[in-house]
A and B are shown apart, each in its own frame.
Chain A
Amino acid sequence: MAKLPISAEKIIDKFGPKKHYTPMGGFEGSHEPDKLVKTHCCFCAMQCGIQLKVKDNKIAGFEPWMEFPFNEGRLCPKGVQRYLQNNHPDRLLQPYQRVEGKGFEPITWDNAMERTISEIRRIQTQYGNDSFAMLSGVSLTNEKSYMVGKFARLALKTKNLDYNGRLCMVSAGAGNKKAFGLDRISNSWADLKHAEVIIIAGSNVSECFPTLTHYIWQARDNGAKLIVVDPRVTPIARTADLHLPVKPGRDSALFGAILKQLVDNDWIDHEFIEKHTNGFEAAAEAVKDYDLDWAEKTTGIEKEKILQAATWWGKAKTSFLLHARGIEHHTKGVDNVLSCINIVLATGRIGKPYCGYGTITGQGNGQGGREHGHKCDQLPGNRDISNPEHRKYIAEVWGVEEKEIPGMGLSAYEIIEAIHRGEIKGLISICFNPIVSLPNNNFVREAFEKLEYYVAIDFFLNETARHADVILPGSLHEEEEGTVTTAEGRVVKINQAIDPPGEARKDSDILIEMARRLGAGDKFNFENSEAVFNELRVASKGGTADYYGISYEKIEKNMGVFWPCPSEDHPGTPRLWEEKKSAFPDGKARFNPVAYKEPAEVVDKDFPVILTTGRVVSQYLSGTQTRRIGKLVDQYPEPLLEIHPSLAIQYNIQNRDLITVRTRRGEATFPAQIVETIRPDTVFIPYHWGGSHSANQLTVGDLDPISKIPEFKVCACQLIPTGKKAAPAEERSAYQSS
């Protein structure tokens, strides 16, 4: 039973998170490094170029990489401090096993592997192959993602494999596939600079993708109008020409109303609609009742502002629409995305210079990780696991019979539900921290406690790995070569700077060894990452995400190559759809009618306030890495409850009063931060923390029926002032990271 063997406090004492700082004067070798390794930041999908200073197999610091074309040296605080994850005192340096009452004790690699293999065999013999599931992460390189997909299907022989991109951009991916037949942003960031109008919907760009801010400002220097749709006045919304403070969960009503304005005022591109799209009439019909009064009532945005946005968008010649989790983390995330695509298609502003549309991928390899087959419904090259032809092609590449590849399995949250129901008994995870990152996480924790065997591959003991029976120390980003695909579709090279320390091993070596012991070693004869990439190229050939023409050499030479790149002499594709041909057989893009639907949980008299969640600039995802870096923790040491003064007055709340937030799933207490930069009917909590500070105890586990993404961004809550005040932030920070 995967319960904690000792108290969480005792585990934290030994494995952290502890704050790690650079010593005064820097690490040894920071002034005279042995070498500078050109690579990328390990965090968000901007994947900023950076050079790591290496001394004696340790990272001693960084130096900006001025030549890398996307960021030209620019970095956010996470990028500046990312080198501190190396040489961290919390780093897992040997395999451990859980010993009831004692905690985690070191074991040998051989024993750890043997135990894991025999547990996999026992569980699969007793309950069937699919009773052992795997959960993966998109901080992994393309090579590792590809290997995980192959490993789960051919070595573990389970259909139940999914990944943490399921919590990120799958709604955008599903929407893109429905509209274009292909899932990638349409243009490189370079096109953004010259767009006349930019809409950013549900993306706190300045805190989640800070280096992209520079591109938006460049566009504005060129005269672009910026429209930001967000319930909060984020730093990017603060300076926008138009800020639309949408009520959480009402985005498709807004975009539907804009589409209606475009149609009514004839601000549409008839020729483009006629020649290059299908389904316009149905999409227009679906919004025919969405007049401005209705839109104002539904979205909470003044109708003049909605009309202004429609007018700017309608009359522009060039435009860019970007969205992120704010509109995707919903039970109708796919609808929200499609409602955005509809206004892009209606105005024909795609596939030409300075016109574009796309999602801003969140996780480091959120783009590449959603193409190479560790999704439950997908095979490499963005192939469909249920499509017989796609299956046959991959079976040939893998040298197996088609029937040996399992079919579609459960998605991430559904895997947790199946564990809770007792249908899935064993789990292997790699770089995924669902106890912090999934919604309704008290339920998630209960599920983990029911597992008969859980093995975690990770480099730090995160909140979920604390439940593991066996922990296998894997590798950091800088410890293995590979590629990742940035949010703009550029495949870049991660260079190995150092070897894994202690007994830690490269993730791919762990997977290969496990595959060998499971009897599938012949399918994993990879000498190095490049060999994996070369197989991935072939596996992706002819798929929509075609990497065949990309090689390590070509990436290094060009500082990245945009997919699709179908042949060796192909330069890559920074701008999609220039031929005005979508990936569908008829070459046309598709409108999808979107009728507005309410969120899964709306406010009522018992739970009268809307709760929404998001990020802060100094933290990343579930904080496994960033909650261990001293200055990043100090910058924003604890999750705060952002609340508007008018709501605060109703509850008699003052700054730093401790407020219990209760939802139908749980409750947690946070210090209040009273700010006018949020809608009066909504409160906000950042989600990067675990334990008692976890915002995801409160969020709802309802899923989008198509993308299976949970509705993180809206639920109903009660606010209960505790009558106590929080201690000053510094004093509390010692307890923050639990």
Chain B
Amino acid sequence: MTVTKYDQQMGFFIDMQRCIGCHACEMACAECETNGQESMIHIHYVERAVSTQTTVQVCMHCEDPACANVCPADAITKDEFGVVHTAETSRCIGCSNCVLACPFGVPQKQEKAELMMKCNMCYDRTSAGKKPMCATVCPSGALFFGTREEIELKRPDSVPVDTFIFGNQEVKTKVKIMMPKGSNYLKVH
């Protein structure tokens, strides 16, 4: 039996401000053993006509994951470490319910495979005590994997936020977004 070394103290923090849009995270994610050269993280320009600002779109690993809740085949599971896993291939029927349900727009249906695929926080690496590929390579520190204490010490001007408000719905996530000091939640319109 493989012994997992999943360290619960470690978390995933995203600071969009630092993102330089280099796509190293995407390319490194595709190198993950389980991803078959598909990236589970996506970088987009907000509006290239006016700014070089880019955003990072990755699974937020919600406490109460909408994608898993709506899956009719029970293909998506959340484990004891809070990682929301990608759809199990033998179960996924490619119905795209998860794609529609996710408030962050994360799961994508791989048309070729008729399967949903999404980030599982590099389970093969994180469960073996390594860091996720994307956060390891990110050259600017926009993606960080470590403890909350570490990031608070390193970035005194920001706070990690894990509460998102979509209309009346409040979503709490395992992945945290770095926001200016004083923020407690992020309201998404």
Contact = CB atoms under 8 A, between A and B. Distances in A.
Given A77-B22, A674-B49, A675-B49, A217 B31 contact: no
Contact of B36 (A25, A79, A233, A618): A25
A62 B49 contact: no
A646 interface: no
Contact of B140 (A79, A206, A655, A675): A206
B51 A206 contact: no
Interface stretch (B59-67, B93-101, B150-158): B150-158
Contacts, number: 113
B86 to A, nearest CB: 16
B141 A214 contact: yes
Contact of B20 (A61, A213, A635, A676): A213
A213 B54 CA distance: 15
Given A73-B136, A221-B155, A210 B20 contact: yes
Given A21-B37, A75-B137, A211-B139, A221 B154 contact: yes
Contacts of A674: 49
A217 B18 contact: yes
Contacts of A234: 52
B27 A73 contact: no
Contact of B23 (A23, A218, A221, A635): A635
Interface string B123-166: 00000000101001111110000000000001111000000000
Nearest to B153: A221
A25 B37 contact: yes
B140 A22 contact: no
A645 B20 CA distance: 23
Interface in B1-53: 17-24, 26-28, 30-31, 33, 36-37, 48-53
B137 A235 contact: no
Interface string A666-678: 0000000111110
A540 to B, nearest CB: 32
Nearest to B29: A80
A221 B18 CA distance: 11
B56 to A, nearest CB: 13
Interface string A19-60: 001111110001100000000000000000000000000000
B155 A80 contact: no
A263 to B, nearest CB: 34
Nearest to A618: B23
Contacts of B154: 218, 221
A31 B24 contact: no
Contacts of A675: 48-50
Contacts of B19: 235
A230 to B, nearest CB: 11
B31 A210 contact: no
Interface residues of B, number: 35
B146 to A, nearest CB: 12
A81 interface: yes
A631 B136 CA distance: 19
Q: Is the interface of B mostly helix, strand, loop or mixed?
A: loop
Interface string A208-230: 00110110011001000000000
Contacts of A288: none
Given A73-B137, A235-B52, A80 B24 contact: yes
A236 interface: yes
Nearest to A221: B155
Contacts of B131: 73
B159 to A, nearest CB: 13
Nearest to B158: A221
B138 A233 contact: no
Interface string A286-301: 0000000000000000
Interface in A76-116: 76-77, 79-81
Interface string A303-316: 00000000000000
A408 interface: no
A270 interface: no
A617 interface: yes
A635 B18 CA distance: 19
B51 A238 contact: yes
A218 B150 CA distance: 13
Nearest to A61: B31
A81 B27 contact: yes
A64 interface: yes
Contact of A206 (B17, B22, B31, B136): B22
Among B37, B131, B139, B154, max chain A CB count under 10 A is at B139
Among B17, B26, B27, B30, max chain A CB count under 10 A is at B27
Given A23-B37, A76-B139, A676 B156 contact: no
Contacts of A210: 20, 22, 24, 139-140
Contacts of B26: 77
A31 B33 contact: yes
A729 interface: no
Contact of A22 (B37, B53, B54, B156): B37
Contacts of A265: none
Given A207-B20, A677-B52, A74 B37 contact: no
A233 B51 contact: yes
B18 A213 contact: yes
Contacts of B141: 213-214, 217-218
A727 interface: no
Nearest to A234: B52
Contact of B53 (A31, A66, A238): A238
Contacts of B23: 77, 617-618, 635
A66 B133 CA distance: 12
A620 B137 CA distance: 18
A210 B157 CA distance: 22
Contacts of B20: 206-207, 210, 213, 235-236, 617
A119 B137 CA distance: 49
A239 interface: yes
Contacts of B31: 22, 26, 30, 61-62, 80
A578 B27 CA distance: 42
B52 A80 contact: no
Contacts of A221: 154-157
B137 A80 contact: yes
A214 B154 CA distance: 12
A61 B136 CA distance: 15
A31 B54 CA distance: 32
Nearest to A74: B139
Nearest to B50: A676
B155 A238 contact: no
Nearest to A210: B139
Contact of A79 (B24, B49, B133): B24
Contacts of B53: 238
Nearest to A46: B139
Contacts of A66: 136
A388 to B, nearest CB: 47
A210 B36 CA distance: 26
A422 B157 CA distance: 63
Contacts of A238: 51-53
A74 B133 CA distance: 10
Given A210-B22, A217-B18, A75 B139 contact: yes
A635 B39 CA distance: 14
B102 to A, nearest CB: 25
Contacts of A645: 49
A211 B138 CA distance: 8
Given A24-B37, A74-B137, A213-B20, A80 B49 contact: no
B48 A80 contact: no
| Shortest 5 CB-CB contacts between residues of A and residues of B | A206-B20, A210-B139, A235-B20, A213-B140, A211-B139
Interface of B: 17-24, 26-28, 30-31, 33, 36-37, 48-54, 131, 133, 136-141, 154-157
13 contacts: A26-B37, A62-B31, A75-B28, A206-B22, A211-B139, A213-B140, A217-B18, A221-B155, A239-B18, A617-B23, A631-B27, A673-B48, A677-B50
Given A206-B22, A213-B18, 5 more contacts: A21-B37, A80-B137, A221-B155, A235-B54, A236-B20
